[in-house]
Amino acid sequence: MSFPIDQIRKEFPILHQEVHGKPLIYFDNAATTQKPKSVIEALEGYYLHDNANIHRGAHALADRSTRYYEETRVAVQEFIRAKEPEEIIFTKGTTESINLVAYTFGRKFIQAGDEIIISTLEHHSNIVPWQMLCEEKGANLKVIPINEAGEILFEEFEKLLSPKTKLVSIVHASNALGTINPVKEIIAAAHQVGAKVLLDGAQSSSHLEIDVQDLDCDFFAFSAHKLYGPTGLGVLYGKREVLEAMPPFQGGGEMIKEVSFEKTTYNEIPFKFEAGTPNIGDVIAFKHALEFIGSYGKKAIKAHEDELLAYANELLLPVKGFNPVGTAEKKVSVLSFNINGMHPFDVGVMLDAKGIAVRTGHHCTQPLMKRLGLEGTVRASFAVYNSKSEIEKLAEGVTQLARIKNK
């Protein structure tokens, strides 16, 4: 059965507009995905009918809001196949999820001389918190090198592991290149030396089937807005025994059982890590994004996105002056490239004039770009609602630009 692209596109109101007099072609999905009507309507419905604070109210609106909010927690648990909903913590994004681990697990369990391992592929949000922690604690940050295709050198990772390794924090799928890391093998090797493992799932969560129990990761972080959900909402999964051993991230309401001026008793997980009034409306709406994905199935969506990436490579690789960046064997649907003689920003502006939205720059991966000897790239990233005809428009635009500069 063919992928129902026309049906899917009808669910996304924002796609049906013109930019600079051209039909919008949105290829900036690795930065953020668009939202289906069901998510938009759920958010509007919350503020129209249910707006109330959760967990503490006795009235009908508070009861409804609490129930819908906790239903999303269960939906997230099922989406990543966690063991129990209590292992799901709501944050404001992948960045906050990683910082939560750095500030709680890191401050309690990382000591002077300990080592944290990351990779060359990391987003700044999976570099800077660990640099800050290492500077504070006197710990050491180690970096896994990559090859020219943008793949980590696993044997070099194994050499970095030692009894001093306390945490490996690694991206599951690169936002800049699309590389899918061999995370199951990384996790197993890290556990052999007693280290915990955090996976940055900001990109992988929207493209790959996620089973945190099968992966056996200790933490998994991702954002709703890259999964057709609202912005300002993220998730941190953690194994119960690890979360229970960690101190709270912030102090305030909800994260306590009892408070006196002499002593405070902290709440159970996940509430211990959810101080204050949360992002209730967006959490409730996120459930509808997960239901949207479930209605088509991750397997079918990934097959469609893989087909788009393959088609883009088929059309663009023969173009004189087109230089792909990141040619890993296993990738999500991210096409990073440059055109000979053109700055990435200029390419982005010229494609925008044709109604084609792409991302340009270093993609918050400056160390990676330095390793590749590049100032930045143009990044086209594909999602469920993109079509082959849009890929053809991208290829047409890139070909025209390449011909101008590479006659």
Q: Mind listing the pLDDT tens digit for each residue in 80-125?
A: 999 999 999 999 999 999 999 999 999 999 999 999 999 999 999 9
Catalytic residues: 364
Whether residue 52 contacts residue 278, with contact meaning beta carbons closer than 8 Å, is answered with: no
Residue 254 has pLDDT above 90, yes or no: no
What is residue 407's predicted lDDT score, i.e. its pLDDT? 63
Whether residue 247 contacts residue 108, with contact meaning beta carbons closer than 8 Å, is answered with: yes
What is residue 175's predicted lDDT score, i.e. its pLDDT? 97
CATH class assigned to 40-294: alpha beta
- Respond yes or no on whether the N-terminal peptide bond of residue 13 is cis (omega within 30° of 0): no
Domain ranges in the chain? 5-30+297-405, 40-294
Residue 289 has pLDDT above 70, yes or no: yes
Measured in degrees and rounded to the nearest 5, phi and psi for residue 395 equal -60, -40
Whether residue 332 contacts residue 307, with contact meaning beta carbons closer than 8 Å, is answered with: no
Whether residue 308 contacts residue 124, with contact meaning beta carbons closer than 8 Å, is answered with: no
Domain spanning 5-30+297-405, CATH architecture: Alpha-Beta Complex (3.90)
What is residue 255's predicted lDDT score, i.e. its pLDDT? 65
Average pLDDT, the chain: 95
pLDDT mean over 155-168: 98
pLDDT greater at residue 264 or residue 46:
46
